[in-house]
Copies of this chain bind each other. A is one copy, B any other.
Amino acid sequence: MHIERMIRRFREAGLKITPQRVAIFEYLYTSSSHPTVDDIYAYIAGRFPSVSLTTVYNTLQTMVSLGEIEEIAISHERRNFDPDTKPHAHIMCVRCKRIEDIYTKNLSENCLPEDVRNRYRILGQRIYFYGLCSRCSAE
């Protein structure tokens, strides 16, 4: 499972397994997708009342540099984290702010002209759409 994988990755990197870190793993892989720092902190603080925001920031940063989660910049006012690192796009409802995953194949082939793909060695992409979801449209 994902949590065991993260524990192994941290071990391999010579990092220690702490209850705070495990709780962050658990939250990331079992709860609402694309949580914010505050979402994560709120959950962890429920289990470890003395946890520090710094720990949340540090752990997320470590996971990003291990390539195990990604930061989503779809919203200007929040930082969302995505535990799914398979290439995929996102769509956010501008009203209710819900974020949905979009899995399309050949994302970069579809969107990038030949000549750009020749001039760059492509390393990643972030594809965000904005719209009104059906629930929010209905009113």
Contact = CB atoms under 8 A, between A and B. Distances in A.
A113 B127 CA distance: 13
Contact of A129 (B73, B102, B120): B120
Given A125-B128, A126-B128, A130-B125, A113 B104 contact: yes
A135 to B, nearest CB: 9
Contacts of A116: 91, 100, 102, 129
B112 A122 contact: no
Copies in the complex: 2
Chain A interface SS verdict (over half):
strand
Interface residues of A, number: 35
Nearest to A100: B116
Contact of A73 (B76, B111, B124, B137): B76
B125 A129 contact: yes
Interface in A70-96: 71, 73-74, 76, 89, 91, 93-94
A23 B134 CA distance: 43
